[in-house]
Amino acid sequence: MRIDKFLWFCRLFKTRNLSSNACKKGHVKINSKSVKPSFEIYPNTIVTVKKKQISYEYEVLSLPKNRVSAKIVNLYIKDLTKKEELEKLETIHLQKNNYKFENKPSKKDLRDLKSFLGD
């Protein structure tokens, strides 16, 4: 089975086009080598996928015949991602939450500020 098709079947990417583009950009690796979207994949292969600065590792258990539901994805892939990578994900989420405005000025506040500055 093609690697781009497999990644899409196992719901690692939302569309097949996204999985194909990830392969072309070098975000999908097998044995530390970037692979093309047409690379043939077999069971017991370790696949490394880089998404949003996180390197996920998966072991291919078997090949699905078509796209599977999210509930049974674990029958086809085994997650081998390291704890350090998952901690990176948590820190990225925490950093995103820190940039929210607590006291965002209202329209009235902005108008008052604009009139005070003389614009």
pLDDT in tens, 15-67: 999 999 999 999 999 988 999 999 999 999 999 999 988 899 999 999 999 99
Task: Give residue 106's Cα distance to chain centre.
Answer: 35
What per-residue confidence (pLDDT) applies to 69?
A: 94
Phi, psi of 102 (to 5 degrees): -90, -45
What per-residue confidence (pLDDT) applies to 98?
A: 59
What per-residue confidence (pLDDT) applies to 112?
A: 87
Task: Give residue 54's Cα distance to chain centre.
Answer: 8
The CATH code of domain 3-117 reads 3.10.290.10
Gap between the Cα atoms of 79 and 40, Å rounded: 20
Model pLDDT for residues 58-111, shown as the tens digit of each residue:
999 999 999 999 999 999 999 999 998 888 888 877 776 655 556 788 888 888
Gap between the Cα atoms of 26 and 33, Å rounded: 8
